[in-house]
A and B are shown apart, each in its own frame.
Chain A
């Protein structure tokens, strides 16, 4: 039976084919069969992790605690220079110029992307806003969050910065950024489950050397990455501690 590889469901649509290309590279690098399973949402992915179906995962920081502390996953690598940051945006026509001017009852469009949503909610705190005094609407994609703002169906949108920057210029021109996070230490991590533990060193070495040949460079390009860098256990534990403080 092939090993199961999965990717945090918040990957940008432009990189969908990139993950299939990476899966092919993975099978060659380890001479093992891998099946890439892309779950529709975080909940179904978590259920698969809970049921011990997942062997390798490009994980959202929010799920790192469960993977490392409950399921014995080992952090391997993270993409170079790719931290997760959130953006709070409003319609360009909106008179609000700072977060502090937002009032209770405001309509906030967000996604089920857990780390970005958490960071976004923290950036609303200076206005004394929280889940109890705002109207939250969870959208399936960041494009839908943008549409809500443009159509006036939401007052505030929470975006992954990369997703915001990927919006068409026509849409972006109708939006205005109120605040961007600069956290820098929250990032996705490629993690390996206990079933793949004997392959950890081989895979880490292959990932770090991926840009040494043209094929590997093509794989990285299809993912929008420039390379991988090592993440050790303590760095991941630190990120988990940090995420824990943000969820309080």
Chain B
């Protein structure tokens, strides 16, 4: 996956190198600017069975800062923020690969280096008894849950 571009970043940033599950390494640039989750919206995406994005809705584009063209064909871990513990994503993959639904609170990375919190639900898409991909739907999280996760996640590294 492409490294992040300093020209895209708003404000001062920190640089990290992430080891992404199934997607190699990526240099990312991170700021402390939060984009609040908009009321009443759902962020929806679908991936193939390996986590490559095949569909995004308008809210996904708006919140991530990437264009639809940049997102389709990219690994879903394009949103991976360094504050998210790898254990969370291992749990996600372990759960959905068993054919079960995963739900959790996720801090996502925007193209401009900022972040936004979501309550995410991921379900396997089964057609004719065959896994064809995953649907992920993100909704507005409660501030209390976000604060709990912001305190918990650093302890999981």
Contacts and interface: CB of A to CB of B under 8 A. Distances in A.
B135 A242 contact: yes
A39 interface: no
Nearest to A98: B39
Contacts of B121: 245-246, 248
A246 B139 CA distance: 9
B25 interface: no
Contacts of A184: 57-58
Interface string A59-76: 000000000000000000
Contacts of B58: 184
A182 interface: yes
Q: By CB atoms of chain B within 10 A, which of A99, A126, A181 has the most?
A: A126
Nearest to B41: A182
Interface in B17-57: 39-42, 44, 46, 57
A126 B119 CA distance: 10
Contact of B119 (A100, A125, A179, A241): A125
A182 B40 contact: yes
A127 interface: yes
A232 interface: no
Given A125-B119, A248-B101, A248-B121, A183 B142 contact: no
Given A180-B40, A245-B121, A238 B142 contact: no
Interface in A231-248: 237-238, 241-242, 244-246, 248
A128 interface: yes
Interface of B: 39-42, 44, 46, 57-59, 101, 103, 119, 121-123, 125, 127, 135-137, 139-145
Given A125-B140, A184-B57, A184-B58, 17 more contacts: A98-B39, A99-B39, A123-B39, A125-B119, A125-B139, A125-B141, A126-B141, A126-B143, A128-B144, A179-B39, A179-B40, A182-B59, A237-B125, A237-B127, A238-B46, A242-B44, A245-B121
Interface of A: 98-100, 122-123, 125-128, 179-185, 237-238, 241-242, 244-246, 248
